[in-house]
Amino acid sequence: MTTISVALGARSYDVRIEPGLLARAGEVLAPLSRGRPMPIVTDTNLAAHCETLVASLAAAGVSAPVLTLPAGESTKSWAQLEALTDWLLAQGVVRSDHVIALGGGVIGDLVGFATSILKRGCNFVQIPTTLLAQVDSSVGGKTAINSKAGKNLIGAFHQPAVVLIDPQVLDTLPQRELRAGYAEVAKYGLIDDAGFFAWCEGNAAALFAGDPQARAHAIGHSVAAKARIVAADERETTGTRALLNLGHTFGHALEAETGFSDKLLHGEAVAAGMALAFAFSAEQGLCPAEDAARVAAHLRAVGLPDGLAAAGVTADGATLVGHMLHDKKMEGSTLPFLLARAIGRTYLDKTVDLEKVAAFLDGQTA
């Protein structure tokens, strides 16, 4: 068992990583339950994992009513948020209770947000079942739903009480989902850890082939990196946490252009966005061209999109920059960008000229 602590004072918590942990979740969670039920919220794809979890809790003497929501991004809605909070209230959840989010980023974001506003805040537990949720969204307390105007525009910072990661649940994850999550793994190397990116280049094949040690190392290293960054800047006010957004501003434009649909998964958009951030940095003379080429090559090698064409996007630069202006990270009329000086050396630039970004993007599709 690897345990990584997210150090946030009174809001500190552990991330526990161990193969087979789902089936032992009951013994880990029983002390938190203090004799109260622990409601589980999950989605329609996860019936088997949910059965394992319920049995484990029952064996530890914890009752666990289950709410199963539709799988997919459309569940991060106002309607589902209201329905979920109504269900939790009907279960009699009180502020000191713990609600379990069993699922990927959609379930984690929705349950995290619902529990942050239920009676002005109750507790929740993350049990992430996708690689993306395990290495990124389940740690750090960002929770949200989508609004008509865009993704994740309504939400809260709400830290879980504990995160339980069982790498074995990835065995049943579709390869495309695994690849999408891997984009966030590679990201931790690109932002500030060139050594880890080199590890990724050497071990991605083993990870995708299901090698348990490669998976455990990738997850543990990613969670430790995220924990360190979140502890330094919980609410993204100093610029440190913003590093985690590498590729996300370009990626956001691609997701908006493809309608936030299954045409382009979030992780796929982030991969293409990271390649674009490095290519733009290289074009601006900020970063060696060979670093940008190395980033693109690795993403291609694992089957991730390495730019606009591979992401299936043909829109012009002005259209894509138009999407960026709806990014919630806009500060007045300024949009901060994550740019690169090299692999493992990214930084936040608040002075990027959006016309140059549009011209760069036009050059990519030309």
Does 353 interact with a copy of itself (rule: CB under 8 A)?
no
* Comparison of 112 and 307: residue with beta carbon closer to a copy of itself: 112
**Interaction of residue 294 with a copy of itself, rule CB under 8 A:** no
- Decide: is 156 part of the binding site for a copy of itself (CB under 8 A): yes
- Residue 123's identity, in one-letter code, is N
Provide, rounded to whole angstroms, the least separation between the CB of residue 161 and a copy of itself.
15
Using rule CB under 8 A, residue 86 touches a copy of itself: yes
Q: How is 209-274 classified by DSSP, letter by letter? A: TT-HHHHHHHHHHHHHHHHHHHHH-TTS-SSTGGGGGTTHHHHHHHHHHTTTSTTS-HHHHHHHHH
Determine the size of the site formed for a copy of itself (CB under 8 A).
33
Which residue in 98, 245, 268, 298 is the catalytic one?
Answer: 245
Identified binder of a copy of itself from the candidate list 20, 61, 70, 121, rule CB under 8 A: 121
Is residue 350 part of the contact set for a copy of itself (CB under 8 A)? Answer: no
Choose one: 50-58, 90-98, 193-201, 345-353; the region binding a copy of itself (CB under 8 A).
90-98
Using CB under 8 A, pick the residue from 66, 71, 157, 294 that binds a copy of itself.
157
Task: Select which of 16, 49, 221, 252 is catalytic.
Answer: 252
Gap between the Cα atoms of 41 and 64, Å rounded: 10
Shortest distance in whole angstroms from residue 185 CB to a copy of itself: 25
Q: How far apart are CA 343 and CA 362, in angstroms?
A: 24
CA atoms of 264 and 251, how far apart (whole Å)? 10
CA pair distance 148, 291, nearest whole angstrom: 38
Distance CA(344)–CA(325), nearest Å, equals 27
Q: Is 266 a catalytic residue?
A: yes
Provide the minimum distance between the beta carbon of 329 and a copy of itself in the complex, in angstroms, as a whole number: 8
Q: What is the CB neighbour count within 10 angstroms for residue 343?
A: 24
For the chain, what is the largest distance between any 2 Cα atoms, rounded to a whole number of angstroms? 63
| 266, 268, 298, 323: the active-site residue | 266
Do the Cβ atoms of 217 and 203 come closer than 8 Å?
yes
Residue of 74, 96, 172, 261 interacting with a copy of itself (CB under 8 A) = 96
- Does 118 contact a copy of itself by CB under 8 A? yes
Contact flag: residue 31 with a copy of itself (CB under 8 A): no
Report the residue from 205, 232, 309, 330 that binds a copy of itself according to the rule CB under 8 A: 330
Determine if 36 is a binding residue for a copy of itself (CB under 8 A). Answer: yes
Contacts of 332 (CB under 8 A, 6+ apart): none
Q: Does 154 bind a copy of itself (CB under 8 A)?
A: yes
Q: Taking CB under 8 A as the rule, does residue 153 contact a copy of itself?
A: yes
Phi, psi of 32 (to 5 degrees): -70, -30
Question: At 318, which helix (H) or strand (E)?
Answer: helix 317-324
**Beta carbons within 10 angstroms of residue 365's beta carbon:** 14
Site for a copy of itself in 181-200 (CB under 8 A): none
Within 10 A of 361 (CB to CB), how many other CB atoms are there?
A: 26
**Residue 260 near residue 73 (C-beta atoms within 8 A):** yes
Q: Which residues are catalytic?
A: 120, 142, 184, 226, 236, 241, 245, 248, 252, 266
